[in-house]
Structure 1
């Protein structure tokens, strides 16, 4: 019973009620604004003014949709992913003007803020006012009905509820109905959140296109990194090895001791080249990850780290190969940053499988201040997470600690 009555005193109930009431105000504003702009832009399309007005309207719809996402998060506790819009084909004025019309997500946002939200907002407002007004009216009826001259409500039969024996049953009915109000509010708030999520989340086609583009960018970046590592590392050592062996061959008859020293140097260069190639192969895709899974690969990674690492891996089953690789590189990059930039003295790695999600968290006690900059390592991690439809969050205030958290789908 206490669980049934508890929503009456919970903050969530009144936040959701306020959101449902606010829907009508916001919906009226959006309907008026977008109807005016679309009608004006469409009627002026035969002139040079119509297209810029419609373009501005679509950009305004994107801003309005962002505001609706913020409102859904603040009042309904619903996070709706902000989309990545399709960019113009070029920087020409024409392509900039028509770019919003080629984006499916923008069309969904226009339909939502112009048509769906106003209609749904009207329904939400009527429901919120009605479900609260009826029981509150019934409970407060004795205040004015019994003692107020002519204030008692009149029934369809013409009689008035102006005596205690007539009012008390109404009050009891109001008290019985009142605990149901928060549950009705929650139901309509959940429906409101579901409609907003369906209309405001990125289009699946756009998501797949963005994911494909990020995957290509990551692959090209990895390829350039491998090329640089080979050129600056193993290739230089192999060139040095070839030169040492060439000089040893020239001195083989005339100066055997010098030739023996050069062969020894070449052997050392060979060992270092093999070690660099082994490290490079591990960076591309460690064999232990394929053979023994994520737990063993992270254990090996923690053992090689120059920062002491506390590792906690709890997996119910082995995730897909792409998710395993993404999780490995997220942890590897976070530990590298902790050692190289954060001057950390300790780090912790937690990997847990929660339902159909793999939750990863890497924390260090370094100096903090890490930022996600375009082209940087953290931006690359976010791109890797997005390429498997996951998400990455970074918290790194000045002075630390730094926490890198990721959620990757396992299904």
Structure 2
């Protein structure tokens, strides 16, 4: 009984507050109608976008109220651009009309049913102290049979009050249906998001290929060409000046050694051999061991991930360790890895000066692009006084 009473009180409060949003809806519709009337004269045309944005305020309030009532988030469906071309604007207008027509009525029921029921019961019990008092049905109570009828009416009102939670939920569901983005709009937004992430992935991939080509051309290829030249000169000098030829051979060997080292560096930048030898956990621990700043690595749950995900995670950790050491002046770094529900979670925390900003070229923008290519998420917290916390979620499902 207590649960039912609390539910009725909560529903009644929701419907009564709905009277305020209903009044705000009526006001917004009046303003919009006034602007539309002025449009043929040219005065209302510049004000029309602003009037349409005005309708978003009561809609946003109702969206938050309905989300609390239903226990489900109702995200805002608005797109960037003019409200005149936004499909969500017309959904808002439909809700304004429906809520303006029903909100005040439902609020009146939420107030009138319980109060009317109590009034009828009071009349039925005390009619004899004030003979001829009127009932809600329009008859005067002048006898006990009429008082009994009045009491039945009061009980009916009280019973109808038990329907308030359903009315409140119906109002919230209507708001959810009209004020949410809808499946088609959500699908369109999702397609746009995936298109953008795919474009970012292709751009990052192209940039990576250009970097590898540049490293091979400017470094390894030039050194190998130098080796070929030195060996050719050494071959020509071998008969006439063996000592000089021997020096060129030693120099060619050193150049070849440097070329091999550069080639290994390029290969390591494509897919670090440590990932193949030790897996992601071992590779991150090796990164931590080489970092000049003390790094604590914690692995909550191990899991198997696609090779591309492991490589992305490795480079993300490497970039953040470099940032924390070079830019943040951190004295302690903590790296947490967790594999759960086909998602790899990475959290990197340092006690540095904070104030990390993607727009200032600290490698964070590259990390975000790398993560978005996997349809993952990046959350950065870096207040000016620190600490800096980067949280990355990389989906691993097929």
Give the alignment's TM-score, normalised by structure 1: 0.68
Output aligned runs, 1:112-151, within 5 Å: 112-139=91-118, 146=126, 149=130
Counterparts of 1:3 and 1:407 in 2: how far apart (Å)? 43
Q: How does 1:3-402 map to 2 (within 5 A)?
A: 7=7, 16-17=14-15, 20-41=18-39, 43-44=40-41, 49=42, 54=45, 57-58=48-49, 61=52, 64-65=55-56, 68-69=59-60, 72-73=63-64, 76-77=67-68, 78-80=73-75, 84-85=79-80, 103=85, 106=86, 108-139=87-118, 146=126, 149=130, 153-156=134-137, 158-160=139-141, 178=161, 180-198=163-181, 204-205=187-188, 207-209=190-192, 211-232=194-215, 235-252=218-235, 253=238, 254=241, 255-282=244-271, 298-306=280-288, 307-313=295-301, 325=308, 329=312, 332-333=315-316, 336-341=319-324, 342=328, 343=330, 344-353=332-341, 358=343, 360=345, 362-367=347-352, 368-373=354-359, 377-379=363-365, 391-398=377-384, 399-402=386-389
**How far apart, in 1, do the equivalents of 2:279 and 2:314 lie?**
10
CA contact (8 A) 1:345 1:366 kept: yes
Return 5+ residue gaps in structure 2 as ranges: 289-294
Offset, 1:118? 2.8
Cα distance in 1 for residues equivalent to 2:229 and 2:359: 47
Q: Displacement, 1:347? A: 1.9
CA contact (8 A) 1:27 1:117 kept: yes
Q: How far did 1:24 drift?
A: 0.9
User: Helix, strand or coil: the match of 1:160?
Assistant: coil
Give distance in 2, aligned partners of 1:360 and 1:63.
Answer: 41
Query: Residues 390, 303 of structure 1: CA spacing in aligned structure 2 closer, same or farther, 3 A cutoff?
Result: closer
Residues 40-85 of structure 1, C-alpha deviations (whole Å, 9 max, x = no match)? 33x25xxxx47xx546534653575477447624662424156553
C-alpha contact (below 8 Å) 1:348/1:362 kept by paired residues: yes
Q: Check 1:150–1:274 CA distance in 2 against 1; reply closer, same or farther (3 A cut).
A: farther
Q: Deviations over 1:300-333 (max 9, x none)?
A: 5523432332223477xx89x7xx8579636743
Matches of 1:65 and 1:305, distance apart in 2: 50
Tell me which structure has the larger Cα radius of gyration. 2
Deviation at 1:197, TM superposition (A): 0.9
* SS of the residue 1:309 aligns to: strand
- Give aligned pairs, total: 371
1:251/1:162 CA distance change after superposition, 3 Å: farther
Match of residue 404, structure 1, among 381, 385, 391: 391
Q: Aligned with 2:383: secondary structure?
A: coil
| 1:390 to partner: Cα distance | 5.8
* SS of match in other structure, 1:303: helix
Gaps of 5+ in 1: 87-98
Paired with 2:138 and 2:229, the residues of 1 have a C-alpha distance of 116
CA distance in 2, matches of 1:2, 1:241: 85
User: Which one is further off, 149-158 or 181-190?
Assistant: 149-158
Query: Residue 4 and residue 314 in structure 1: after superposition, are their counterparts in 2 closer, same or farther (change >3 A)?
Result: farther
Contact conserved, 1:361 with 1:405, CA < 8 A, in 2?
Answer: yes
Q: CA deviation at 1:28?
A: 1.6
RMSD (CA atoms) = 4.6
Residues in 1 aligned to 2:101 and 2:346: alpha-carbon distance in whole angstroms: 43
1:199-249 Cα distance to aligned partner (Å, 9 max, x none): 699564455345424422442244224423542577323313422442344
